[in-house]
A and B are shown apart, each in its own frame.
Chain A
Amino acid sequence: MIFALVALVAIFGAPGTSHAQEDDERTVRARINNRVAGENEPVEGVTVTISTGGEELDSAETDENGQVEFTVQGRRDYTLTVDRDTLPDGIDIEEGEETNTITAASFTSSSISRTFVTGESLVTETPFIDELAQRLVNGTRFGLLIAISSVGLSLVFGTTRLTNFAHAEMVTFGGVVAFVFNVTGLSFLGWLPFADERGRFPLIAAGVITVLLGGLFGLALNGSIFGPLRRRGYSLVTLMVISVGLSIALKNLFLHRFLSRRRPYADYARQSAMEFGPITITARDLIVTIISFVVLVAVALSLQRTRIGKATRAVSDNIALASATGINSEQIIRIVWFAGGALAALGGIFNAVDEQVSFEMGAQLLFVMFAGITLGGLGSAFGALLGGFLVGMFVELATFVVPSELKNAPALVVLILVLLVRPQGILGRAERVG
């Protein structure tokens, strides 16, 4: 039920005497009505206070008719205030409507009346523990998203020492390219399986193609820009500034193609939530969370168990030593760019499924990802997974106190605290850096 608060002015009592003086006695009545299904019911036992010029004059409780009456001296500005805390359970008054000011000029007779209308409380108090459970679920989804998106950022740093500011655009790439396959369609691909005649793919097929393209995109960035420049001995700061230039160019390329609208995918855009006890989650978010978790475990296992994974960790640790043991470090770097690009694209798709596609979706996540990999330990692969998850979870839990506009702000707090307390991160090794 919508709160309808109408301040009704009713004139009670006899018409004012014509020789009314400024200081004569006046009656101010307040009435509290609870509106249920169009009917007004008086509300009893609510404290109403009358004040003038900030000074409290009197207060009283409403009677069985929902009325309270004050006698005041003279025509002045009076303010009536309903004490919210004394309203019965399940009844509330709209924010800002619990006060009502009577101006001196409105005293046209010896008495004046104001009506407050309350309504059924919309704010149902969710128990803290239920709220927490819901946020833990949201946090798991967001944490896993940040974790898989930022693996590439951390691994590229680990193997080449490059802080790649264009990583944000690799995430956006995923969201945007999947949109092209899913919604825009590429008509020359109409003959492929799963595609319709305009070359549009279902989101799952589009996603698989996009993840592969994301990997190739990473490879292309390494092959065309960062690889050759690194081999020519460009300094890391120069490469970092180049990644900034790349980020500007790519972001605006997406803007150029895509404009500044937010757009949803054709599939899974609207879903009704399922309820599990206190937790509500859409099937889509549940599946995204499960896939993210599986991917995360797969990445962790392959780093731990496979030859390539071990070689990657070796190159991250010490590239010279790794090369000396016969590891082809350039090959490993290419694999890292491919895998990082593919995972970033997957993260981009998952983010866009939830929040729609926009040209700056990656840029908005960039420093959450930075906070994650810094917390985990810059360059450490497991660190990116762990740190990304923790920061994502923290950001989601912080919404208890942080307004949604500033949702990502707590990540900065994490970032600064980590740098002050343990700059090498949780899993990083301490080294002297200055």
Chain B
Amino acid sequence: MNWISIIENTVKAFVGINAVYFALAAIGLNVQFGYAGLLNFGQAAFMACGAYGLGMTSQYFQINMWWGVLIGLGFSLVLALLLGVPTLRLRADYLAIVTIAAAEIIRLVVRSVRFNEYFNGSDGINEFSGPFREIGNDLIAPAARNYGPSWTVPGIDWTIDVEFTGRQVWTLIIGWALVLVCGAFVFLVMRSPWGRVLKGIREDENAVASLGKNVFGYKMSSLIIGGMIGTFAGMMLALDRGSVQPDNYSRDVTFFILTALVLGGLASVTGSIVGPMVFWAVFQFTDVVLREAIGGQAISIGNIRVMDTTQIGPTNQIMIGMLLILLMVYRPQGLFGNRKEMAIDAR
């Protein structure tokens, strides 16, 4: 088993782009679910808003990519209103049902042939990220070089290189900066009177309403803010890949983000950032270990094939599902949350 490669991959996943976009999406989801108790199961749709906002600048609008940031945020504002208006006055599960359905429909719409002109169907959009990459090239050039620290473990003959290409480093710098800005914003806003009301709504909606607060308005703004932070997640994913693919915004993505958030700890900014990092490190670790363990061979028990290379992904995802169940049952506060804050209940 190649432990050097396992360690390198795990460390890269811990700080890599997947952790970045999951962290952004989780910070947003935390504003909705962690602080306001809103079950948004369609965070992937908000991410798609950001990604397609950028992508459509070249595919449809034929304008500079940077307008895409505004377009993406505009899309997610519209989406939040569309999802929130019918559901936020109702019980919590209605929002969950509507968001899960809307996210799936949005994915089907952007990948359908009928709307090729706007979204380019299942091929996705590939040519929009030029302006972003050019700035990176100017600042960190040459893009072809690799960057990253390298350690030599004393005693044994191990050299561990955590290397990213120049382009990845540029994306990571911007991504982590966004994570810090959004994290700081949420941290501050939740200590403001506005944030306290939001947490009050999570604990007891009627009590807050009886104080004369506009509960619907607070919930709506939390949905919008959380969705917009999720929009940045979609943008970072699109900029890193240099392409927008409809299937990157599936239901499973939302569920994995939810798992990463619960792992880090609901209603905790630290949790919503560290959770995704740990999530991806663990995911990558088990993936590489399984791959190394079977070494391209299929493992069978009796005549039942338990593990071959195509079954590694599903195996990993089964473990994610189990992780979510076990966390909710035994440690609902995750790594950094506060158990007392986890008294969320359906209304």
Contact = CB atoms under 8 A, between A and B. Distances in A.
Interface of A: 161, 163, 165, 225, 229, 234-238, 240-242, 244-253, 255-256, 259, 363, 366-367, 370-371, 374, 378, 403, 405-406, 408-409, 411-412, 415-416, 419-420, 423, 433-434
B87 interface: yes
Given A363-B251, A406-B108, 10 more contacts: A235-B346, A236-B92, A237-B39, A238-B344, A252-B315, A256-B318, A367-B97, A370-B97, A408-B108, A433-B90
Nearest to B327: A245
Interface stretch (B64-72, B99-107, B170-178): B99-107
B39 A240 contact: yes
B332 A238 contact: yes
B252 A405 contact: no
Contacts of B320: 248-249
Contact of B344 (A237, A378, A412, A416): A237
Given A245-B325, A409-B108, A434-B205, A252 B318 contact: yes
B328 A245 contact: yes
B196 interface: no
B41 A244 contact: yes
A211 B315 CA distance: 27
A242 B324 contact: yes
B344 to A, nearest CB: 5
A412 B102 contact: yes
A256 B311 contact: yes
A259 B325 CA distance: 24
B105 A409 contact: yes
A127 B109 CA distance: 29
A245 B323 contact: yes
A241 B318 contact: no
Nearest to B345: A235
A-B CB proximity, top 6 nearest: A249-B321, A245-B324, A248-B321, A367-B101, A236-B346, A256-B314
A165 B324 CA distance: 14
B339 interface: no
Contacts of B293: none
Q: Which of B101, B262, B343 has the most CB of A within 10 A?
A: B101
Interface string B82-121: 1001110111111011101110110011011110000000
Contacts of B92: 236-237
A163 B96 contact: yes
Interface of B: 37, 39, 41, 82, 85-87, 89-94, 96-98, 100-102, 104-105, 108-109, 111-114, 205, 215, 251-252, 255-256, 258-259, 262, 310-311, 313-315, 317-318, 320-325, 328-329, 332, 343-347
Contacts of B82: 416
Given A161-B346, A237-B39, A238-B332, A434 B89 contact: yes
A403 B113 CA distance: 9
Contacts of A256: 311, 314-315, 318
A359 to B, nearest CB: 9
A253 B314 CA distance: 7
Contacts of A408: 105, 108
Contact of B258 (A235, A241, A259): A241
Contacts of B101: 367, 370-371, 411-412, 415
A218 to B, nearest CB: 17
A405 B114 contact: yes
Contacts of A242: 324-325, 328-329
A420 B334 CA distance: 36
A371 B332 CA distance: 30
Contacts of B251: 363
Contacts of A244: 41, 255, 258, 324
A241 B328 contact: yes
A366 B100 contact: yes
A409 B176 CA distance: 36
A408 B100 CA distance: 13
A37 to B, nearest CB: 34
Given A241-B258, A415-B98, A416-B98, A405 B322 contact: no
Contacts of B325: 225, 242, 245-246, 249
Nearest to B317: A252
Contact of B346 (A229, A237, A415): A237
A241 B262 contact: yes
A419 B86 contact: yes
19 contacts: A165-B96, A225-B325, A234-B328, A236-B92, A236-B93, A237-B92, A240-B346, A242-B329, A245-B324, A247-B321, A248-B255, A249-B322, A255-B313, A409-B108, A412-B98, A412-B101, A419-B87, A419-B90, A419-B98
Contact of B321 (A161, A163, A245): A245
B306 to A, nearest CB: 9
Nearest to A404: B112
A238 B37 CA distance: 11
Contacts of B318: 248-249, 252-253, 256
B37 A237 contact: yes
B251 to A, nearest CB: 7
Contacts of B332: 238
Contacts of A240: 39, 93, 96, 346
A419 B320 CA distance: 32
A244 B251 CA distance: 11
Contacts of B258: 241, 244
B29 to A, nearest CB: 12
Given A236-B345, A256-B311, A367 B114 contact: no
Nearest to A367: B101
Nearest to B87: A419
Nearest to B326: A245
Nearest to B262: A241
A325 to B, nearest CB: 26
A235 B317 CA distance: 25
B197 to A, nearest CB: 16
B329 A423 contact: no
Contact of B97 (A163, A235, A252): A163
A364 to B, nearest CB: 8
B258 to A, nearest CB: 7
Contacts of B98: 412, 415-416, 419
